[in-house]
Structure 1
Amino acid sequence: MASSSSTAQIHGGLGFSSLKKPNSRTLFFGQRPNASFPRAPFPKLTSKTTFRKGFTLRVVNEKVVGIDLGTTNSAVAAMEGGKPTIITNAEGQRTTPSVVAYTKNADRLVGQIAKRQAVVNPENTFFSVKRFIGRKMSEVDEESKQVSYRVIRDDNGNVKLDCPAIGKSFAAEEISAQVLRKLVDDASKFLNDKVTKAVVTVPAYFNDSQRTATKDAGRIAGLEVLRIINEPTAASLAYGFERKNNETILVFDLGGGTFDVSVLEVGDGVFEVLSTSGDTHLGGDDFDKRVVDWLAGDFKRDEGIDLLKDKQALQRLTETAEKAKMELSSLTQTNI
């Protein structure tokens, strides 16, 4: 996760007119050997630097946060005392459920409070939205069957999420924007400073449409998204690999919605994703679904009732499966 604590704005005519744009798969933290662009977009300033008349230098201190917008949970971090710090939310937790809900009174709920009421309000509670962002309806047939809310198609074939409580349908990025807004609001309170800029991570396999939609979500949330970076690159930064030279590393990422493995080449402060592979239908959500299917199958055999057709029962089963899965992280067995 990347973040920065200050920026400099320089006025007066100095600048660089022919910067080489880096490859979209590469993240630069220094100068690539033989590159045709400078290390930084500003000239080096020293105590002996002189400026012509009319030149002004304005240094603006502002927080730039790093955001991990996840399928099931999200997190936000900032640099504090020279070290990246995960920011706790209003509930005192380091992660925030990527869940948004609307009540019959048109109240909007985000995070843990939205997740808690999902059992009684399944059709208006939106989760795992990252699976739909930047995608067409024709691409998400399987995903749409795994959620308790209605996934519909608009006139252009895009995905819309139906919200009967307020008689409206949302694009996936509009829902993700609500999660981003909560993260940024919590960060602003924690840092005691308004946050308007962020770096957001995405899976390495995200295509241009998904990356653009993620950036749009930031814009809807009122954020300036300075950069979209690959999740394996962010993980490599977190472990300090940018300080090493000529390393080839493997990043294993098993998340709430996806599993992917990426091979990166690191050298001279440059990260390049050489290859990435994985399964977009293998993650914590999918583990939960297997347990839900098993429970529902058992119940149908014994009682003759298909719980999967009842949205409220489906949501309750999903929560039960998730709880059991989490308990098995530290126990050898659990009861459902």
Structure 2
Amino acid sequence: MLEDIIGIDLGTTNSAVGVVESGFPILLANADGERITPSAVSYAADGSVVVGKSALRRRGAGVQVITSIKRYMGRRYAEVSEDKYCVPLSGGADGGVLAAGKTPIEVSAEILKELKSIAETQLERNVCKAVITVPAYFNDAQRNATKQAGELAGLEVVRIVSEPTAAALAYGLDKLEEYAKVAVYDLGGGTFDISVLEMREGVFQVLATDGDTQLGGDDIDEALAHWVWAQIGEQSTLSDGERQRLIDAARDVKEQLSNTESTALRIPFFRENLNLDIEVSRQQFEKVVASVIGKTESHCRRVLNDAGIKSPSEELDAVVLVGGSTRIPSVRALVEKVFEKVPDVSQHPDEAVALGAVIQAGVLSGALREMVLLDVTPLSLGIETFGGLMNVLIPRNTTIPCKAGEMFTNAVANQQSMRVRVLQGEREMARDNWELGKVDVLFESAPKGQARVGIQFSIDENGILEVLTRDTVTNTDTLLEIDSAAVDVDDEAVEKMVSESVDYAFDDMSERIFTEAKMKAEELLPAVQAGMEQVGEVMEPTDVELIRTAELDVRSALETGEANILKAAVQRLDKATEHMAAVLVEKAMEAALMKKLGE
């Protein structure tokens, strides 16, 4: 009998679990008979924990109810300390986030325990392995945190799958013999992803991905709630409880306006002598949330560019919508405008990702036919090299799992160690990228360029990075594990970095060219001086003058700071010294011959 592997969509607002039974991927219903379970957890004073719809019912009853915890997975308290959240946020001893005293991993584990229990109840047998989905733009720390939550829930997480990839699996299950290139636009409760995938005979390859793990339906609800409160004209600040009631009502209005042109937001007895009753039209709603929805457009255009798609109407077979927020008509209108194609709404927006996770779980368990799933890494990975440059080992949008390595030498004579700084980002200079971790590699003292250190990056199928360094003389290995607190950046910064890599591409490349030319000049100038002292007297005066002029040009170009001027000057000096180099070689050969004859 095949071992069960369940598929789980651990969502910001809702979650779902399923399994392949009798060759068919199915989602499993909870105790309420529903396939969707709210990602809500409540902690009572007596220590009892309730998950799902029952937890949401406890709001306002003096019980802390945590929702949208996914937004804080793998993040630092310093990033989110100003956030207004459903429960108090604080900093943990490790600098991470605590929500009502619980880590996001602990809260997520409670949701996963509930999903595990649903599966075991429905299947009437124990399950201990799972495939869990995450946003494509989750970084290494966020993926690790998700995996830890699964382990804390008693599950072996056999694969982490990106949500758009899972949605593409659900979309393409009945198209395995066909070729198709599709975009998956996934706007959920708390995260946004856009990916372009190619499907060919059971191989699903991600061509490009982009997104924002801090953008989703929660932001739409917040914007509408803020607008409603502004219409009331009240100047007083909302309490946490009032704010949550207003957001919940705004969410209901948002959902109703997907199917009707106008509805009312009503909260009786909102405050003493204050009942809320405001009519909201779809036109007003779309105007209020336009800036939130509009943020997805730049991600879409960037992913089309990264995938090399110039005419989406001709080059894409479909634009698949998933995520509850894609029910909003203005979202669908934006997608149609950007992709020049009517979006495909054949997938259930709340269930497609979970269904894809189930399909991948079925493949891994052997319950479904073999399909190959090729995901990509969303940001470039590399190390800092001499001169403060970013040396990319794994470029952005490289298919994973993957490995890449390179050999490095000591830049300074007699140094005995090399600091390897692992970087993530898209800029040319190391200082403009993010440090994931660092390790010092020790080796025996050696002349410049003689010590050799091998560095290998390995990204597994879950998108988690390991860095191996090796002293090739002693074959001593050091393994650097990127832990869950390594990446101290928020998602606005991720988006900013990618856009800045384009905005500052010319300046960055100019600085890189100047830095590389400067290092070459600093190596060449002393060598020229030493060579002239040895053979300058036997060279033709015109050759000496050519070298001296080129040398002065290099020194002058170093002062200007102009990259192309310095690069050209270094090239002229390099060419001018070709004859001198030949004379030095002849002199060395003569010396060696005389020494041999003297013996």
Number of the residue aligned with 2:249: 320
Output the CA distance in 1 between the equivalents of 2:235 and 2:16: 42
User: Identity over the aligned pairs, expressed in percent?
Assistant: 45
Of the three residues 163, 169, 190, the one matched with 1:257 is 190
- The equivalences for 1:257-336 within 5 A come to 257-299=190-232, 301=233, 303-307=234-238, 310-336=239-265
CA pair 326-121 structure 1, distance change in 2 beyond 3 A: farther
Which structure would you say has the larger Rg? 2
How many pairs are equivalent?
Answer: 264
- Give 5+ residue unaligned stretches, structure 1: 1-59, 163-168
Give per-residue Cα distances to partners, 1:282-332, cap 9 Å, x unaligned: 311111101111122233x2x43222xx01111111111111112222222
Of the three residues 123, 145, 148, the one matched with 2:86 is 148
CA pair 284-161 structure 1, distance change in 2 beyond 3 A: same
* Contact 2:138/2:213 (<8 A) preserved: no
Number of the residue aligned with 1:230: 162
SS, match of residue 70 in structure 1: coil
Output the CA distance in 1 between the equivalents of 2:95 and 2:60: 30
Number of the residue aligned with 2:137: 205
The Cα of 1:101 is off from its aligned counterpart by: 0.7
CA-based RMSD of the aligned residues comes to: 1.8
Output the CA distance in 2 between the equivalents of 1:266 and 1:137: 40
Number of the residue aligned with 2:68: 128
- Give 5+ residue unaligned stretches, structure 2: 266-599
Give per-residue Cα distances to partners, 1:41-93, cap 9 Å, x unaligned: xxxxxxxxxxxxxxxxxxx5332110000000000111122111111111111
Output the CA distance in 1 between the equivalents of 2:171 and 2:62: 40
The one-letter amino acid of 2:97's match is V
Which shows bigger deviation, 245-254 or 78-87? 245-254
* Contact 2:190/2:213 (<8 A) preserved: yes
Give per-residue Cα distances to partners, 1:257-286, cap 9 Å, x unaligned: 122210123334333322112233331111
SS, match of residue 95 in structure 2: coil
Number of the residue aligned with 1:113: 54
Number of the residue aligned with 1:64: 5
* Contact 2:4/2:127 (<8 A) preserved: yes
Number of the residue aligned with 2:150: 218
Q: What is the TM-score with the length of structure 2 in the denominator?
A: 0.42
SS, match of residue 193 in structure 2: strand
Output the CA distance in 1 between the equivalents of 2:23 and 2:141: 34
Give per-residue Cα distances to partners, 1:19-50, cap 9 Å, x unaligned: xxxxxxxxxxxxxxxxxxxxxxxxxxxxxxxx
The Cα of 1:211 is off from its aligned counterpart by: 0.6
SS, match of residue 3 in structure 2: strand
* Contact 1:264/1:275 (<8 A) preserved: yes
More helix by share: 2
The Cα of 1:247 is off from its aligned counterpart by: 3.4
The one-letter amino acid of 1:109's match is V
Of the three residues 26, 41, 45, the one matched with 1:85 is 26
Give per-residue Cα distances to partners, 1:171-196, cap 9 Å, x unaligned: 10110000010011011111111111
The one-letter amino acid of 2:236's match is I
* Contact 2:81/2:89 (<8 A) preserved: no
CA pair 331-121 structure 1, distance change in 2 beyond 3 A: farther
Output the CA distance in 1 between the equivalents of 2:264 and 2:226: 16
Output the CA distance in 2 between the equivalents of 1:118 and 1:281: 24
Of the three residues 159, 163, 182, the one matched with 2:97 is 159
The Cα of 1:119 is off from its aligned counterpart by: 3.1
* Contact 1:120/1:312 (<8 A) preserved: no
The Cα of 1:121 is off from its aligned counterpart by: 3.7
Number of the residue aligned with 1:75: 16
Structure 1 residue 196 corresponds to structure 2 residue 128: yes
The Cα of 1:102 is off from its aligned counterpart by: 0.9
Q: What is the TM-score with the length of structure 1 in the denominator?
A: 0.74
Number of the residue aligned with 1:43: none
